[in-house]
Structure 1
Amino acid sequence: MNERKQHVLNAAKRLFLENGFANTSIQNILDEAGISKGTFYNYFTSKNECLISIIEESTGSASVIREELAADGPDGPELLIEQILVRLRMNREQKLIRLYEAILHSGDPELRGYMKSVHLSELAWLERRLIEVYGEQFRPYAADAALMEFGMLGQYLQFAPDITSPEELSKRIRFVIRRTEALLRDMAGNEEHLLEAGQFDLRADSPPIPVSGQVAKEVLRLADTLPAETRDYGREFAGFLSAELEKEKPRASLLKTVAVPFRKLFDGRPNEPEARTVMSALWQLLKSIDFK
């Protein structure tokens, strides 16, 4: 994600929110961004792909922040609450709910299929987190609990859409988490569940696993874009990350420890979205490769 592509995405997002996705043409985006048609098609094959890229940028950023929260402290219900809050705040602050609604009402099979994949991926994440927080003994019941938690929270938020403060949102998430824990224990006590463990993962379209060598190169390149006052720190962090990623058996705990401060060096900088994209690939590697 270079700065020019980010500029096009920002322009498209403004138009989608102001005029609606259906009422925005590619020519409108060209005029708003001040680019040629060739430049647009260099980045995206269609208007649909442009919209998908906007949502992917947001979901990727949320994933990075969630992983960074997990790396900073002990696991438990409070961390899960903070991780869920990340996605809710980002959806509301970036007005993504309006884009989701536009997709649901579009009738476009490609967009609706994409949103289904996003929904399943979120359920798969929540199922995994419930197992991590409450224990392996709840694995057979976590898929049902994730679906019920997702539904309960959605209804509470829809009932009070004007509630946006982190405190009030956390209050509702905490309430739903406590109910979910009770449901988990009840299902386990009765040995009763409808869904099979892991089926959300199986039904979601999994993104391709990043290549560790390519991520290592991108981390080094990012460090060189930092301003002079933080470039040395950045290069030191990047050098460690890159060298560790190139090892046959990278050390996950050390990578997590260094990844967080390195990514934060880009906060408020023009290429902050690009840094989040690269670090999202790093966290994907940490989850998909058996680090020992």
Structure 2
Amino acid sequence: MNAKKEQIVNAALHLFVNKGFRQTSIQDIIDMANVAKGTFYNYFKSKNECLMAIMEYVQEKGDKRRVELAIGKKKTDEEVFIHQVAVRMNMNREYNLLSLFESVAFSSDETFNNFMKNQYLLEINWVSKRLCDMYENCTEKNSVDLAIILLSINHHFLHVAKLLNEQVKIEEVIKYSLQRLKLIIKNQPMNEEVFFSPILFQQTNDKSVKEELQNHLNQLLSNVKENEVDSRAEEYIQFLLDELSNENPQLYVMESVSESLKKILDSDRYQEDVRHIIQLFWKWKNH
């Protein structure tokens, strides 16, 4: 980021945190940054673009700190991981981003909302890969669920501490939650079903999500035929495959058929496969 752009970003961050995102105008940012209006619009089309630049700036700094923490250390070093996870949380505090997140939580800007979603999914993906670096029983299949559990414990413990006006170190919270997570990892069978499929957290395009959905449906169709399940299941799966091949698929009908399929295939044998298919369908539909 060049000096002029950083000057605008720093001014915007100060105003967003202290005055409020919605209460801050582009003119306020221009005045505080002491730049011409044309200079602002050379870099940003809107306040939201400016906010996204702030998020990217903080993320880049955080990624750099995480890399620095790992230099010369083993991937299995838990202390390194604890401090790496803490980087993002500490930077949120350092830049007062939590209050900023709350002020834009209900934005109607689809581009901005997708940007924020991707930021969150990237963090889950990073944590899941690091857990697999450290623990043998953490596999690609279950890593996303484990990452979500860890981040959720951290988030809620820190939230309760804030409600109780307790001063706690972020690193201590992460250490505590990691110890609890290790018990789950240790006692988790390698083939245990998972709730969220890792494919949902990969950076994929519409075509690859569609192909993944088709592959899962074809595999399920093969299993259903082989085990002579309710004939309606075959019909529903084939309908979904046919609609995926259509130029204008009937999305709402597909949604209804997916739910019907879930009710028919409610046994343990198919539960996980059907859940992943439904998750992939929603990802493809909303891509």
Q: Same fold, TM exceeding 0.5?
A: yes
Partners of 2:205 and 2:145 lie apart in 1 by 16
Q: 1:14 to 1:64 in 2, by over 3 A?
A: same
The corresponding residue for 1:90 is 91
Instruction: Tell me the C-alpha RMSD between the 2 structures.
Output: 2.1
Q: 1:163 to 1:5 in 2, by over 3 A?
A: farther
Provide the aligned length of Structure 1 versus Structure 2. Answer: 203
Q: 1:92 to 1:164 in 2, by over 3 A?
A: farther
1:43 counterpart = 2:36: no
Q: Is the 8 A contact 2:30 2:36 kept in 1?
A: yes
Using the size of structure 2 for normalisation, the TM-score is: 0.66
The corresponding residue for 1:243 is none
- In the TM superposition, what whole-angstrom CA distance separates every residue of 1:212-246 from its partner, at most 9, and x where no partner exists? xxxxxxxxxxxxxxxxxxxxxxxxxxxxxxxxxxx
Partners of 2:182 and 2:142 lie apart in 1 by 11
- What amino acid is the match of 1:28? D
Report 1:43-122 matches (<5 A): 43-75=43-75, 76-122=77-123
- The structural deviation recorded for 1:182 is 1.6
- The structural deviation recorded for 1:107 is 3.7
Q: 1:169 to 1:194 in 2, by over 3 A?
A: same
Q: Is the 8 A contact 1:123 1:146 kept in 2?
A: yes
Q: Is the 8 A contact 2:121 2:201 kept in 1?
A: yes
Partners of 1:87 and 1:50 lie apart in 2 by 20
The corresponding residue for 2:282 is none
1:32 counterpart = 2:32: yes
- What amino acid is the match of 1:144? D
Partners of 1:198 and 1:135 lie apart in 2 by 21
- What amino acid is the match of 1:14? H
Q: Is the 8 A contact 1:13 1:54 kept in 2?
A: yes
Partners of 1:54 and 1:191 lie apart in 2 by 40
Q: 1:116 to 1:147 in 2, by over 3 A?
A: same
- The structural deviation recorded for 1:181 is 1.6
Partners of 2:173 and 2:113 lie apart in 1 by 28
The corresponding residue for 1:183 is 184
Q: 1:185 to 1:197 in 2, by over 3 A?
A: farther
Q: Is the 8 A contact 2:138 2:185 kept in 1?
A: no
- The structural deviation recorded for 1:199 is 2.9
Partners of 1:203 and 1:153 lie apart in 2 by 28
Partners of 2:21 and 2:172 lie apart in 1 by 33
- The structural deviation recorded for 1:16 is 0.7
- The structural deviation recorded for 1:125 is 0.4
Identity %: 34
- The structural deviation recorded for 1:127 is 0.7
Using the size of structure 1 for normalisation, the TM-score is: 0.65
1:173 counterpart = 2:164: no
Partners of 2:193 and 2:185 lie apart in 1 by 10
- What amino acid is the match of 2:72? D
The corresponding residue for 1:153 is 154
Q: Is the 8 A contact 2:161 2:167 kept in 1?
A: no
Partners of 2:157 and 2:12 lie apart in 1 by 31
- The structural deviation recorded for 1:108 is 3.1
Q: 1:179 to 1:149 in 2, by over 3 A?
A: same
Q: 1:87 to 1:193 in 2, by over 3 A?
A: same
Report 1:1-292 matches (<5 A): 1-75=1-75, 76-135=77-136, 138-161=139-162, 162=165, 168-188=169-189, 191-202=192-203
Structure having the higher Rg = 2
- In the TM superposition, what whole-angstrom CA distance separates every residue of 1:145-173 from its partner, at most 9, and x where no partner exists? 111111111101111125566xx222111
- What amino acid is the match of 1:50? C
Q: Is the 8 A contact 2:150 2:177 kept in 1?
A: yes
SS at match of 2:69: helix
- The structural deviation recorded for 1:110 is 2.6
By relative contact order (CA 8 Å, sep 6+), the higher-ranking structure is 1
Unaligned runs of 5+ in 2: 207-287
The corresponding residue for 2:226 is none
Of stretches 184-193 and 2-11 in structure 1, the one that deviates more from structure 2 is 184-193
SS at match of 1:115: helix
- The structural deviation recorded for 1:44 is 1.1
Partners of 1:106 and 1:203 lie apart in 2 by 24
